[in-house]
Structure 1
Amino acid sequence: MKYLVFVCMLLVAASAHGVEKAAQQVFDNEIERKAVQAVVWGIPAVNYDLMRQEMLTKTSGKVGQVIYWGRPLDWKNQTLTPNPDALYFMAFFTTRDGPVVLDLPAAESGASFNGNIVNAWQLPLEDAGLLGIDKGKGGKFVILPPDYKDKLPDGFIPLQSEIYGGYMLFRSNLKSHSDTDVQASIDYGKKLKIYPLSVAGNPPETIFADVKNILFDSTIKWDESFFDNLNRVIQEEPWIVRDRVMIDQLKSIGIEKDKPFKPDRHVQSLLTKGVKEAQALLEAKYDAGLPPFFTEKSRWTFPAYPDLIKASQSNFDEPDAYPVDHRGVAYSYAYIGIKRLGAGQFYSISIRDKDGNNFDGGKTYRLNVPPNVPVEQYWSVTAYDRQTHALIKNVSRASRSSQISELVKNEDGSIDLYFGPSAPRGKEANWVPTDPKRKFELMFRAYGPTKDFFDKKWVLPDVALMRK
């Protein structure tokens, strides 16, 4: 009898253990699932914080100052799909202590910029520069903290933000890549100023730091550190009303405002699984392709999903739309937000050749750029690492553009560009190197596109594999 009771007790204990184990699996599944959702939702803020942390930990730059690349970007700039045919200036800001002024220069003879100002979620606050809201006149743009009500002095352009942090990307345009023109672009870029509105009457000198020789790597880190970046932004910034649904979602994975984020080893393993699953999801969606741009079957696509472009232009304030998934895909391969995409610049992406195959860095491809590209400024084509979406490491250059005087033209005025591990004989000037061990992708940039560009009166053909 005692033996029977003992056996029954063991069975009850085993059953209870089984129930407990099943319940634990349910909770683990929830953490992993919520981690995936947090990555897709939070990637714009993480993207922003990765760049900010690179500045703070690897350069002498600080929030409220300006870092810049004192030469056309090379592979040491490992941000997502940057433009190697303009000089980059970046200014991170916070309005926690009051409004911040971005005092931007007017265009001059042979000198201009294209700029975008965004908050920490990379929501565009305004476009500035030659084709921005100021139409090249420059101006004193003032970033206002949440709920700011005071009247601004005359002559300032108010930009109301829902949160405190953000940054500006200021692209100082280049006539060419010559040393003289690069220096002129640097000198022009250094005319921008950043300072608190409270000292606008006598602003201090803006501090600039040249970071051209620093490995600046803000590519997405697909591991548990993703959540450290996300937690940092959550702790610093107020909740945007439309995102309050994420409060409990993040609490489920240990991210809660005003509380330390210290997941134990078991939770860390679940977060790692979640971020890897999110990576696979976002990569699969990107690989499925964006909508074609030039023709219905073109391999050149829009730079982002049309619903995301529309939402961004309306401050993500549409009553029946909030394309979080599409936003997540976009900020896995790019950064910055553009208020009026197409007014100042337009981008088109190609991840496959005309036959529908992925670009292979060990093969050589040709792109024929037809003559008379309908742009007011310049066009360019840049090659990126397909996996990281950054400039291909350890190559001599990343792009070719209409700014390059030595480009060889065909008799009809078109230009053949070549992408591959080595230049076809006699085509060195028109060649962009690739890594033979890695896949790559291409981006076509049109700066100052005209109406003919959007009316498709000029069409960029697909990239063709060169047959041996």
Structure 2
Amino acid sequence: MAGVLYDSTIPYDRDFFRSLARIVEKEPWLTRDKAMIDPLRTLGICKGEPFDPGRALEETFDAAAQEAHAYLDMRYEAVFDPPFAPGTRWALPAVPEVVEGMPNFFASTEAYPIDGRAVSYSLAYFSAKHLGAGQYYLMAIRDAAGDALDGSETYRLRVPANAPVTLYWSATAYDRETHALIRNVARASRASTSPGIVAEPDGSVDLWFSPHVPAGREANWIPTVPGRGFEVLFRLYGPEKPFFEKQWVLPDLVKDQLP
């Protein structure tokens, strides 16, 4: 029997509301969720009742979801300022209120960053309970010149030698629009533990993001797709003190020519 593919990307159209109605029907209301019972009822989403919005309301759902997508994307751009290290384009893609609330499941009675959580969950599929203790994440959506990363171009990311990690680091390319893995490419990422990864004489590692294979550097290549924007998530597993003290800084991606 052929396997069934599951599309984990967020549907920014009427399908989002259909999915929401299914969740409301199947899941119990938590105390913090109850404030949404009446607002959702005005959309025709009510536990125990069939969800049948009709054509006119579905068209409204399409427009509303697209507007929400644009709003989240605008908020997403804003989380990169300020960057993690001054003068770079890398940032942790989450507002401080979200980072502070994740370890205690947003226990504070004075804060519940709904919009900030929406931005984070529009691109991430989990919540790190101890961010920084076992792992840390930096994301870039622009190159050193400030231009959006373009899958038609070639970029080099030079990972400096002696990365301050007890385990390993990795870099993964995601589709800019969906925040999901880029479709129909040979692989999505390279890591310090990748078989055959080539280091420079000084111990640094050049990673290449390009739609074309770099000669002699295929093990260091992360493919992109022409005509599609992309973003890069750099993961550090077991980050050490020099990273947080900015003694070791990850440079920006730069446009380059393939070797």
**Interval containing the TM-score (normalised by the shorter chain):** over 0.9
Offset of residue 287 of structure 1:
2.8
1:445-460 aligned within 5 A: 445-460=235-250
Kindly indicate whether residue 214 of structure 2 is the aligned counterpart of residue 393 of structure 1.
no
Q: Is the 8 A contact 1:294 1:459 kept in 2?
A: no
The match for 2:43 among 241, 253, 260 is 253
Single out whichever of 356-365 and 329-338 deviates more from structure 2: 329-338
Offset of residue 294 of structure 1:
3.6
Rounded Cα–Cα distance in structure 2 between residues aligned with 1:258 and 1:451: 53
Q: Which position in structure 1 is the counterpart of 2:108? A: 318
Q: Which segments of 5 or more consecutive residues in structure 1 lack a partner in the other structure?
A: 1-57, 60-213
Other structure's SS at 1:258 match: coil
Rounded Cα–Cα distance in structure 2 between residues aligned with 1:291 and 1:240: 34
Kindly indicate whether residue 12 of structure 2 is the aligned counterpart of residue 222 of structure 1.
yes
Offset of residue 467 of structure 1:
5.8
Kindly indicate whether residue 45 of structure 2 is the aligned counterpart of residue 242 of structure 1.
no
Q: Which residue identity lines up with residue 327 of structure 1 in the other structure?
A: R
Rounded Cα–Cα distance in structure 2 between residues aligned with 1:395 and 1:242: 41
Number of residue pairs the alignment of both structures matches? 257
Rounded Cα–Cα distance in structure 2 between residues aligned with 1:229 and 1:466: 43
Kindly indicate whether residue 177 of structure 2 is the aligned counterpart of residue 379 of structure 1.
no
Q: Is the 8 A contact 1:366 1:417 kept in 2?
A: yes
TM-score (norm 2): 0.93
Q: Is the 8 A contact 1:293 1:348 kept in 2?
A: no
Other structure's SS at 2:122 match: helix
Q: Which position in structure 1 is the counterpart of 2:220? A: 430
Rounded Cα–Cα distance in structure 1 between residues aligned with 2:240 and 2:58: 50
- Between the aligned residues of both structures, percent identity stands at 49
1:2-401 aligned within 5 A: 215-401=5-191
Q: Which position in structure 2 is the counterpart of 1:150? A: none
Q: Which residue identity lines up with residue 304 of structure 1 in the other structure?
A: A
Per-residue CA deviation, residues 207-252 of structure 1 (Å, 9 max, x unaligned), is xxxxxxx633211111111111111221222222223221111111
Q: Which residue identity lines up with residue 96 of structure 2 in the other structure?
A: P
Rounded Cα–Cα distance in structure 2 between residues aligned with 1:423 and 1:219: 28
- Whose Rg is larger? 1
The CA RMSD over aligned residues, in Å, is 1.8
Offset of residue 463 of structure 1:
0.7
Single out whichever of 297-306 and 370-379 deviates more from structure 2: 297-306
TM-score (norm 1): 0.53
Offset of residue 405 of structure 1:
3.5
Structure with more strand by fraction: 1
1:385-424 aligned within 5 A: 385-424=175-214
Other structure's SS at 1:377 match: strand
Per-residue CA deviation, residues 375-418 of structure 1 (Å, 9 max, x unaligned), is 11110001111111111111111111011231111111111111
Offset of residue 291 of structure 1:
4.1
Rounded Cα–Cα distance in structure 1 between residues aligned with 2:18 and 2:230: 29
